[in-house]
Amino acid sequence: MAVPQPSRAEILIDTRPLWRILAERTYRPILLSTGLVVYLMVRTMPQPEGLSPAGQNALAIFALCLVYWVTSVLPLMVTSLLAIVLLPTTGVISAKETYALFGNEAVFFILGAFILAAALIKCGLSSRIAITILRRFGHTPRTLLLSLFLMNAFMSFFMSEHAVAAMTFPITLEIARVLRLPREGSNYARALFLAMAWGTQIGGIATLLGGGRAPLAIGMLRETSGQSYSFAEWTLAAWPIVAILLVVGWQVIVRFFPIDIDSVRDADAVIAQKLLRMGRPSVREKSIGLVMLATLVAWIVGGEEFGLANIALAGVVVIFLLRLLTWPDLEQYVNWGILLMYGGAIALGAAMTRSGASGWVASVTVSRWAQTPLQVLAVISAIGILLTEAMSHSAVVALLMPVAIGIAQQFGIDPRVMAPAVALPAGLAFTLPVGTPGNAMAYSSGYLRLRDMLVPGFVLVAAAWLAFMATATWYWPLIGLGVGR
Amino acid sequence: MRPATHSAYLKLELAERGLVLDPSVRIHSAPFRLSTGADAVARSLDLVLPQGVWVSAPVEERATAGSPFRLLVDGDRVVLVRRDPDGVETLRVEVRAVPQPRFYERHTTRGTPMWRVAAVHGSHLLINPAGACGFSLRGTPCRFCVEGAPATAERDAAAPVEEVLEVVRAAFDEGAAEFVYFNSGFFDAEDGGMGFLAPYVEAVRRHFDTLIATQVHPPRDNRWIDRTYAMGVDALSYNLEMFDEDALKRHCVGRARYIGRERYLEALARAAEVFPSGTVWTDLVVGLEPLQSTMRGIDALAAMAVVPVVSVFRTPEAVGPRASLDGAEVAPVLARLYRAVKERRINMGWMRDLSLGITPLEARHFAGDGARLAVAVQRLTRFRLGALAARSLARFRRRLRVRTVGESFDASHV
């Protein structure tokens, strides 16, 4: 008899105590139910003074999304889809308006940026830039570490910080391996991985390309106030914080983890080999580099006139016209789900503002804790920087932006200030592995203990908040972003 | 030997010495359940002693001629009588003779006699789809074995899954068994025989709401132990048979040569981590190795959360004579069996209705302990609702414990 073989799908038996497994498995239904209960409670509570019925419904949806986004009980994008479904069905805004908001320029800008980054990665140009920088500057332990730190930051100016971290993590791991750094107790190894994780994050807030936070905040700002930022304006607002954090971050790394090796000759050899294997830049690499450069210039000089999304998509079209990328290549690199997340968040934020719910939330929360515009900024940025340690950066923006816009209206703050006030702190998670994929990768290397991230990370978080406040207080008024006192 | 004072002691004596069938039994209208077929060296009769203790008592005339036990039918009652060498009756106890299942008389759709496909032992329907022991085929059977040693010329192919399902259906329909117990003779495979049994287990799981036990050999790769649990096996045995390494080499040449004692112990330890408490067991044959060694084995197995089941095998004539066991000498071993399992807080409720071995809970009598809670819980599982609860809990536990690699990654949010 031909005996069929059992399925070879890899089976794992969870041998932990049953109560622990049970608690873990029931965690999800409990959180889902909690969100539903919160939603029903807010919807059915007596209508508060100053809140319209549509506002109350918008608030209920916001509360539901708050629970699901904070706990990640559903994928972020699915929670956004839920918001999109609920907004028209509960009568907050019409279906037509909801889906129109989903087609926000910010969503298409992010899409374009993802595709351009995919082209950079696919053709190998991003790896070449990384390896070239390390080869050029990293000949001593100190210069190698500094090169790695700055290179990660620099790359994140032009690509998603997560993509940069994913690209440079294997390089960092290989450097640690060829230098035979022990998994426990090696200061240099810890410094390398923190330089990788922190470098990408600090660089990621510098431009609109480092992640989806800034475009998302701008999209929400545009939908609620009609105001926006050009590529250059955003960079102009962010650069002092980036500069301060690059200096402070470097100091924190080398002071907490003094360099404990004398030579990086082995790593140098490996990097040289990698560069040798890459050969000369191909025509494809050069072409993609040129398109990227042209797109950057266009963003800076023509962003306001032509629109950031238009320029990004034009760059994408050129890449396909020149056959520098194929659609299947692209599909591997673009996180389509995150586009749904942004679309839903923008729709929810607009609905919150238009229905008056964000103003009401602001009046019962931050407005009670803060008396002046600067205090408002201090509270908003502190909440953002704390939440982002444990939450997705974009989810933090999605949650805080509607409230921040409401507060701005109440305190007479220019709503434009609120976009960087929310998006910049939301990109700075330095203490926990769950804060960002870069941190998670660094921690997963096995060279870092949690304590290695917690204590120095906390110092950097404090520095980041102070740098933000100093920038907002003294620098932003100089470039026309008046916070007021 | 002292006169039997409790059912477990009686079981020990009956298993060892067998019984003589009174002519009144032979004319009884309802045939009793006798182990049958070419695979049986010594015919035996299944009885249920007081307190629900099952025993498979040899009734082969040549082997049991000197037995002090006699089974007779007195009206509607079936009575077990014990007499001392002087012919003085020392015990008279009513027992329940288990009627021979009606399906033994039937044939499958393919024409195979159903008794060839499955046999009822206690409340278990024992199925050996391979029909032969791999060690026997290699000429290295266990010397005391009554199941695998004979030639299997009549069975040259594994039983088809559909045929096994047909027989299980027939056995369950007439209430002849509660559980399904698969046995695989394969040892020379990566999976220890589980790959062969998998389609049968999966088919029974799909068609019947029952608990499934398997007796196989340790796989080379522990992942097969995990797969065994995941595919729906509720209880698992890798039968070591004896703890003493020299005795194992002497009596179980195949086990010692092809698998080795250490692998048995490793696999049992892993299985005990995976399966619910009290569902991983191994037989220890008492009397073929020093009793001290059996006790060491009991302690070692219990420490790994494995349930030792002490079995008393009557010696097949082909193997030669063996000195009779002294019940008084074995009693401390059985007392140790109960205490060791109790001390390790291993669930004693799962092992029940084994007619060929003495379970820890049955051994409580030797330790002078009532084990009221364990007995009460086990009794509960004999009721329809209790059995349903036991099966549901087993399924629920499996749902919680079994995960695929993909699920694990998802859960970790990597």
Whether A13 and B158 lie within 8 Å, measured CB to CB: no
Q: From the list A3, A18, A72, which residue is nearest B400 (CB)?
A: A18
Phi-psi bin for B406: left (phi > 0), alpha (psi -120 to 50), beta?
alpha
User: How high is the ipTM of this complex?
Assistant: 0.76
CA dist B26 and B21 (Å) reads 7
Work out the minimum CA distance from B180 to partner chain A, whole angstroms: 19
Query: What's the pLDDT at B199?
Result: 93
Which of A476, A477, A460 lies closest to A385, judged by CA?
A: A460
Q: A435: which residues sit within 8 A by CB, 6+ positions away?
A: A388, A389, A390, A429
Q: From the list A12, A22, A24, which residue is nearest B405 (CB)?
A: A12
Work out the minimum CA distance from A390 to partner chain B, whole angstroms: 13
Size of interface A-B (CB pairs under 8 A): 61
Which residues from chain A sit within 8 angstroms of residue B186, using beta carbons? none
Which residues from chain B sit within 8 angstroms of residue A6, using beta carbons? 194-195, 198-199, 202, 227, 231
**How does pLDDT run along chain A (485 residues), one tens digit per residue?**
333 344 455 788 888 888 888 888 888 899 999 999 999 999 999 988 888 999 999 999 989 998 888 788 888 889 989 999 999 999 999 999 899 887 777 788 888 888 888 888 888 888 888 888 888 888 899 999 999 999 999 999 988 888 888 888 888 888 888 888 998 889 999 999 999 999 999 999 999 988 888 999 999 898 888 888 989 999 999 999 999 999 999 999 999 999 999 888 888 888 888 888 888 889 999 999 999 889 988 888 887 778 888 998 999 999 999 989 888 888 877 778 878 888 888 888 888 888 888 878 877 877 777 788 888 899 999 988 888 887 778 888 988 898 888 888 888 888 899 999 999 999 998 988 877 878 888 888 889 888 898 899 999 999 999 999 999 999 999 998 877 65
Which residues from chain A sit within 8 angstroms of residue B227, using beta carbons? 6, 11
CA dist B164 and B170 (Å) reads 10
CA dist B305 and A378 (Å) reads 59
Torsion angles phi and psi, residue A445, rounded to 5 = -65, -25
Chain B residue with Cα closest to A437: B414
B179-205 average pLDDT score:
88
Query: What's the pLDDT at A485?
Result: 53
H helix or E strand, kind and range, residue B95: strand B89-97
Chain B residue with Cα closest to A14: B401
Domain ranges of chain B: 7-97, 102-399
Chain A residue with Cα closest to B397: A18
Q: Are strands B53-58 and B44-49 parallel, antiparallel or unpaired?
A: antiparallel
Q: How many CB atoms lie within 10 A of CB B263?
A: 18
In DSSP notation, B252-316 reads -HHIIIII-HHHHHHHHHHHHHHSPTT-EEEEEETTSS-HHHHHHHHHHHHHTTPEEEEE-PPPP
The confidence band for B316, taking pLDDT boundaries of 50, 70 and 90, is low
CA dist A73 and A90 (Å) reads 23
The CATH architecture one would assign to domain B102-399 is Alpha-Beta Barrel (3.20)
Task: Annotate B214-231 with b (16+ C-beta within 10 A) or e (fewer).
Answer: bbbbbbeebbbbbbbbbb
Phi-psi bin for B97: left (phi > 0), alpha (psi -120 to 50), beta?
beta
Query: What's the pLDDT at B343?
Result: 95
Q: Are A247 and A370 in contact (CB under 8 A)?
A: no
Which of B257, B255, B252, B249 lies closest to B268, judged by CA?
A: B255
Q: Is the per-residue pLDDT at B171 higher than 50?
A: yes
Query: What is the token pair recorded at B315?
Result: 């010696």
Whether A10 and B404 lie within 8 Å, measured CB to CB: yes
Residue A40, Cα to own-chain centre: how many angstroms? 31
Q: Is A237 helix (H, G, I), strand (E, B) or coil?
A: helix
For chain A, the residues whose C-beta falls within 8 A of a C-beta of chain B are 1, 3-6, 9-15, 18, 21-22, 24-25, 72, 440
CA dist A230 and B306 (Å) reads 70
Domain ranges of chain A: 102-479
Which of A26, A453, A175, A72 lies closest to B414, judged by CA?
A: A72
CA dist B268 and B280 (Å) reads 7
Whether A14 and B403 lie within 8 Å, measured CB to CB: yes
How far apart, in Å, do the first and last CA atoms of chain A sit?
Answer: 86
Which residues from chain B sit within 8 angstroms of residue A22, using beta carbons? 400
Query: What is the token pair recorded at A327?
Result: 């659609």
Q: From the list B196, B199, B404, which residue is nearest A11 (CB)?
A: B404
Q: What is the pLDDT of residues B344-371, one digit of tens each?
A: 999 998 888 888 889 999 999 899 888 8
Torsion angles phi and psi, residue B279, rounded to 5 = -110, 0
pTM attached to this predicted model: 0.62
CA dist A81 and A376 (Å) reads 31
Q: A73: which residues sit within 8 A by CB, 6+ positions away?
A: A28, A31, A32, A35, A67
Which residues from chain A sit within 8 angstroms of residue B402, using beta carbons? 11-14
Residue B398, Cα to own-chain centre: how many angstroms? 23
Q: Is B80 helix (H, G, I), strand (E, B) or coil?
A: strand
Chain B residue with Cα closest to A9: B404
Which residues from chain A sit within 8 angstroms of residue B195, using beta carbons? 3, 5-6
Chain B residue with Cα closest to A23: B400
Chain B residue with Cα closest to A16: B401
Query: What's the pLDDT at B414?
Result: 31
Chain B residue with Cα closest to A12: B403
Whether A14 and B158 lie within 8 Å, measured CB to CB: no
Whether A6 and B198 lie within 8 Å, measured CB to CB: yes
Q: From the list B199, B404, B413, which residue is nearest A12 (CB)?
A: B404
